[in-house]
Amino acid sequence: MKKHFFILIVLIGITFTSFAQNKSAADNAGVQAKFIRSYPNPANAVVNFEFQKPNSRLYSMQILNSIGKSVYEAKNLPSILTIDIKNEKFYRGIYIYQLVDKNGIVVESGKFLVIN
């Protein structure tokens, strides 16, 4: 009886271990790599956008205010884009940035907060 119980416990352990490994692989497959890193957030004087993709010149970036109006657009992006918030007249609030490919498809979006 103890032998059967031991075998049953081992089989359950093997089944659970393979289930847990498959679940973590599925979770990792759903994670997408970020193309843009924005900092500092919240922003006071400037906001920087660092593009992780080497061919960032194929994309453009739009920044929208909280009501969806486009307030800034950049094409032929460098590897790091720095925007002077005060010169561009960004007011206090939440802004949404969108990385757009040459076909007009939004590849990535995010948000940042301006606190000036």
Query: In the structure, what pLDDT confidence band is assigned to residue 59 with cuts at 50, 70 and 90?
Result: confident
Q: Of 96, 100, 84, 91, nearest to 47 (Cα)?
A: 84
CB atoms within 10 A of CB 114: 19
**Pairing relation of β-strands 93-100 and 60-64?**
antiparallel
pLDDT at residue number 2? 60
Average pLDDT for the chain? 78
Write out pLDDT tens, residues 5-50.
545 454 455 554 444 444 444 444 445 667 889 999 999 999 999 9
pLDDT at residue number 51? 85
CB 47 within 8 A of CB 112: yes
CB 83 within 8 A of CB 65: no
Write out pLDDT tens, residues 81-92.
999 998 888 999
Amino acid identity of residue 68, one-letter, is G
